[in-house]
Amino acid sequence: MEEKVTIATFDNYFRAHIFKTKLESEGIDCFLLDENVNSIIPMATSSFGGIKAQVFLSDSLRAADIYFDGLEEH
């Protein structure tokens, strides 16, 4: 199984899913870690380190480019 790496961390469920949708539209599999805990107990987001967006190592450079391109748009 290929290693996964964290590309971004979100404190907001909606932003995490928007990013995941963007990656998947580009053909990159994205996995959100700790999304259930953070959606059930939103006040504890910082305790769990937020919602982590992970991708396979082989897709990490493309995913990082997409993430940083999105930051520049805002």
Residue range 22-54, pLDDT digits in tens: 999 999 999 999 887 666 666 655 566 789 999
Q: Cβ-count burial of 53 within 10 angstroms (0-12 exposed, 13-18 middle, 19+ buried)?
A: buried
- Please give the Cα distance from 47 to 19 (Å, whole number): 22
Residue of higher predicted confidence among 34 and 62: 62
Per-residue model confidence (pLDDT) at position 70: 76
Per-residue model confidence (pLDDT) at position 46: 59
Residues in the chain: 74
| Mean pLDDT value across residues 47-69 | 91
The answer to whether residue 73 scores a pLDDT higher than 70 is no
Determine if residue 12 is left, alpha or beta; phi over 0 gives left, psi from -120 to 50 gives alpha, anything else beta: beta
In degrees and rounded to multiples of 5, residue 24 shows phi and psi of -65, -30
Of all residues in the chain, the percent with pLDDT exceeding 90 is: 62
